[in-house]
Structure 1
Amino acid sequence: MDEERNEPAPAARPRRPAPHHAGHRERLRERARTAGLHHLPDYELLELFLFRSQPQGDVKPLAKALLDRFGSLAAVLAASVEDLMTVRAPDIRGRMKGVGAETALDLAALHEAARRVTREEAARRPVISSWTALVAYVRLSLQHEPREQFRVLFLDNRNQLLLDEVQNRGTVDHAPVYPREVVRRALELSAKNLIIVHNHPSGDPTPSRADIDMTRQVVEAAQALAITVHDHLIVGRQGVASFRQLGLM
């Protein structure tokens, strides 16, 4: 009978180091809970939102790619679903990972929620007496819009907000305005006062000659029917210009 031979035990395979992002989600959540959300940089706050729609993998590169693409957290949240879905970033294996439809919708929903909150604040008191809330609302709504929008805030006789309505959308530098349509809509809503709002996608809110002429036409059409135009606000990334404060009306 052959003598048994003891075979040497196979060498243990070296243990692979854990990927750098292992446990990152829970560590980030714990920091948010203990230190507070206000201590997180923008990309980490954005990561927390991305965790919802992308439950696996490292989303830090995608969060940073979104901020690089749009320039700020506010601009990321204000971006359209279509534009958000163009952003891609490499995952830990070097494969490109993009913003899917679900992630884009989550981010757009967050912006809409913020817009409604600021609208509630602006509408809680007479609009012309809550200037800070009004400016916050129009900036959030329009400062990152890629095309011009012409909007009208219709107010009642106590200057409470009845409706914020987009009258027209245009190109990167022009949105058509029809003074008679503005006044007709005011009559439909029984609005006694108006605030005109539009944006400059260039970022500079300085009124143009065309803006000044258009405002005069709307004011004249409204006055003929005892409707007051309180102000015309132009929104840009650099701030908000008020015709009333500039002495233009």
Structure 2
Amino acid sequence: MAEGVPARKPHHAGHRERLRDRARGAGVHHLPDYELLELFLFRSQPQGDVKPIAKALLSRFGSLAAVLAASVEDLMTVRAEDARGRTKGVGAETALDLAALHEVARRVAKEEAGKRAVISSWTSLLAYVRLSLQHEPREQFRVLYLDNKNQLILDEVQNRGTVDHAPVYPREVMRRALELSAKNLIIVHNHPSGDPTPSRADVDMTKQVVEAARALGLTVHDHLVVGREGVASFKQLGLM
């Protein structure tokens, strides 16, 4: 470089402060997903251009919700090339930060769902189960144990399975309900395929759980099946 000629600044010079100024001015709710993600990545990657990584994350997982729900291991497979052709990846610290952000969001949603009787705050409940399960890569079978006022005692994972099956043991569900002095239940599981439409096996399993609960004087309010495309309610579908 010729003497006295100033070095060219990278194209992203000043970008962080400009983005922060826009967020402060218009509010973070006006930022597109990739810029909101950038703003968060600034903290775990204090130097360099993080826009390519933010966009690569959204491209790889498909949505902001899916980015946050991804496992640390999957997040660390993402790499992006900056304007200078240098490749940079999502490191362990960044992946852990993103996983922590998802857990914060899940706990806030759970807190909202549990403030009132669950069946009277249905919108909050659906938001919570979607956030918890819609991007899970394996089936999970969970039970929401409720007291006699239908307030949440415990949301417990009863079993984890494969991509299309999680074994369910009605006897174990009932045993746990008695331990917790629960009076009512909502059962929840996810379909990693994305389609929440209940299967024949889902319907049969639900009947078994409902019958076991009835024998003990307990009530199963609903069975929710969560997928990326939404949440199916057995009660609304007339399946229970």
**TM-score, normalisation: structure 1:** 0.94
- Which amino acid in structure 2 is aligned with residue 173 of structure 1? D
Aligned residue among 212, 220, 236 for 2:227: 236
Aligned residue among 106, 114, 126 for 1:123: 114
Aligned residue among 33, 44, 48 for 2:35: 44
Q: How does 1:88-237 map to 2 (within 5 A)?
A: 88-237=79-228
- Which amino acid in structure 2 is aligned with residue 121 of structure 1? E
- Which amino acid in structure 1 is aligned with residue 114 of structure 2? A
- Which amino acid in structure 1 is aligned with residue 42 of structure 2? F
Once residues 118 and 29 of structure 2 are traced to their aligned partners in structure 1, the CA distance between those partners, rounded to angstroms, is 29
CA RMSD in angstroms, aligned pairs only: 0.9
Q: How many aligned positions are there?
A: 239
Once residues 203 and 233 of structure 1 are traced to their aligned partners in structure 2, the CA distance between those partners, rounded to angstroms, is 14
Once residues 208 and 234 of structure 1 are traced to their aligned partners in structure 2, the CA distance between those partners, rounded to angstroms, is 10
- Which amino acid in structure 1 is aligned with residue 68 of structure 2? L
Once residues 200 and 232 of structure 1 are traced to their aligned partners in structure 2, the CA distance between those partners, rounded to angstroms, is 13
- Which amino acid in structure 1 is aligned with residue 150 of structure 2? N
Shift of 1:54: 0.4
Once residues 15 and 120 of structure 1 are traced to their aligned partners in structure 2, the CA distance between those partners, rounded to angstroms, is 54
- The answer for unaligned runs of 5 or more in structure 1 is 1-10
Aligned-pair identity in percent equals 85
CA deviation map 1:100-139 (0-9, x unaligned)? 1110011011110011111011000000111101100000
Moved over 2 A (4+): 11-17
